[in-house]
A = this chain, B = another copy of it.
Amino acid sequence: MTDASPLKLDDFLCFAVYSAGHAFNRLYRPLLDRLGLTYPQYLAMVALWEGDGVTVGELGQRLGLESSTLTPLLKRLEAMELVSRARDPKDERQVRLSLTDKGRALQGPACTVPADLTAASGMTAEEYLKIRDGLETLRAALARADG
When the two chains form their complex, are residues B141 and A137 in contact, meaning their CB atoms are under 8 A apart? no
When the two chains form their complex, are residues B21 and A18 in contact, meaning their CB atoms are under 8 A apart? yes
Assess whether A132 is interfacial by the CB under 8 Å rule: yes
Among B8, B123, B146, which residue has its beta carbon within 8 angstroms of that of A50? Answer: B8
B residues in contact with A146, CB < 8 Å:
23, 26-27
Name the CB-closest residue of B to A121: B141
Secondary structure class of chain A's binding surface, majority of residues: helix
Assess whether A67 is interfacial by the CB under 8 Å rule: no
A interface residues with partner B (beta carbon < 8 Å) = 3, 5-9, 11-24, 26-28, 43, 46-47, 49-51, 62, 64-65, 107, 110-111, 114, 117-118, 120-123, 127-128, 130-132, 134-139, 141-146
6 further A-B contacts with Cβ under 8 Å, apart from A7-B114, A120-B145, A127-B138, are A5-B107, A6-B111, A7-B50, A13-B118, A27-B146, A121-B142
